[in-house]
A = this chain, B = another copy of it.
Amino acid sequence: MAKLIECIPNFSEGRDEKIIQGLVSIAKSIQGVTLLDYSSDASHNRSVFTLVGDENGIQEVAFQLVKYASEHIDMTKHQGEHPRMGATDVVPFVPIKDATTAECVEISKKVAKKINDELNIPIFLYEESASNPSRTNLAKVRKGQFEGMPEKLLEEEWVPDFGERKIHPTAGVTAVGARMPLVAFNVNLDTDNIDIANKIAKIVRGSGGGFKYCKGIGVMLEDRNIAQVSMNMVNFEGTPLYRAFETIRFEAKRFGVNIIGSEVIGLTPAKALIDCAEYYLQIEEFDYGKQILENHLLN
């Protein structure tokens, strides 16, 4: 069966419907690629596309979209709330089926090289593709934004992974990389005290000494008057959802607080939830690839 890879490019245009539709046309025109979703935000002035495709199709569509963006988006005129450094700001590749993160790293490097060779846009590799640890975090890579990039590229530690040490005059700089699928998973507590949610978030998240692949903060759900531990599970195989959930459950007890529900936001790979069913039902020797009927139907 064909490998299936997801790509979620972010473009610095969320207002001009003509340009957005131009990107949509390209996204739909490449053989072996499906446009799952796209959304634009006018205040961020940014659009996010979600595509899946085979190994070749996903590389082709990523390149063609970056090319179109570089020809139609002028960063010297861009304004918007969301941090950004390029017409195409970031291009992550994610393994979905029969593909590994290592393969997505290879793909990200091939696409990065082609973008630079043919479009002359300097590239930072980030996340799993990063050439050194200070480049794994996108926020650090993007710091300074479009306006600060000409200077940043001249700093010793910010030589681009591909390209010369100067920005593309209108398309800026693009980050390309591989990462695991991300699951947005929030756990609701029966308290209106956000401090408790913040304390628990700190316990479960990697940066607080908790689970390596979990990011989290406390959030107040004003309409329900309850506090929530809002998490990004950035590698659900390394840190499964149930492990964060059960940890929140027993840590909340210290405060006399209980879990009253949870939310999964947006798209999630089936395996992130099936892994949880496997845990709770104590299923022995389950073979996800072979035993899930739908896995035999994907391409």
The CA-CA distance from A282 to B52 in the complex, in Å, is 29
A 82-107 to B, binary, CB cutoff 8 A, 1 in contact else 0? 00000000000000110000000000
Once A263-B284, A284-B261 are accepted as A-B contacts, the answer to whether A268 and B291 lie under 8 Å apart by CB is yes
Whether A267 is near chain B, meaning CB under 8 Å from some CB there, is yes
C-alpha gap A36/B290 in the complex (Å): 10
Which has the most chain B C-beta neighbours within 10 Å: A241, A245, A292, A296? Answer: A292
Check A139 for interface membership: any CB of B closer than 8 A: no
The answer to whether the Cβ of A16 comes within 8 Å of any Cβ in the partner chain is no
Q: Is A26's beta carbon under 8 Å from chain B?
A: no
- Cβ of A269 within 8 Å of any chain B Cβ, yes or no, is yes
Task: Give complex CA distance A299, B266 in Å.
Answer: 21
Name the B residues within 8 Å of A97 (CB-CB): 294
Q: Is A274 an interface residue (CB 8 A)?
A: yes
Residues of B within 8 A of A283 (CB): 261-264
Q: Report whether over half of chain A's contact residues are helix, strand or loop; otherwise say mixed.
A: mixed
Cα(A280)–Cα(B296), bound, Å: 27
CB contacts under 8 Å to B, within A267-299, are 267-270, 273-274, 276-278, 280-286, 291-294, 296-299
Say which residue of B6, B96, B281 sits within 8 Å of A276 (CB atoms). Answer: B281
A34–B1 Cα gap in the complex (Å)? 12
With A268-B293, A270-B274 as contacts: A280 and B242 at CB distance below 8 Å: yes
Q: Does A75 contact B (CB under 8 A)?
A: no
Q: Is A4 part of the contact surface with B, judged by Cβ < 8 Å?
A: yes
Q: Is A260 located at the chain interface by the 8 A CB criterion?
A: yes
Chain B residues closer than 8 Å to A299, beta-carbon distance = 297
Residues from chain B with Cβ under 8 Å of A37 in the complex: 296
Task: Using CB atoms, name the residue of chain B closest to A290.
Answer: B267
Which residues does A use to contact B, with CB under 8 Å?
Answer: 4, 6, 34, 36-37, 52, 96-97, 181, 188, 241-242, 245, 259-264, 266-270, 273-274, 276-278, 280-286, 291-294, 296-299
5 A-B pairs with the lowest CB-CB distances in the bound complex, closest first: A273-B277, A276-B277, A280-B280, A261-B284, A277-B277
23 example contacts (A-B, Cβ-Cβ < 8 A) are as follows: A6-B293, A36-B293, A36-B296, A52-B293, A52-B296, A96-B293, A96-B294, A181-B293, A188-B284, A241-B277, A242-B277, A242-B280, A262-B283, A267-B291, A268-B292, A268-B293, A270-B293, A273-B292, A276-B281, A277-B277, A294-B294, A297-B299, A298-B298
Extra contacts, 11 of them, besides A259-B282, A269-B294, A276-B280 (Cβ < 8 A), are A6-B293, A52-B293, A188-B284, A242-B281, A262-B281, A264-B283, A264-B291, A268-B291, A273-B292, A276-B277, A298-B298
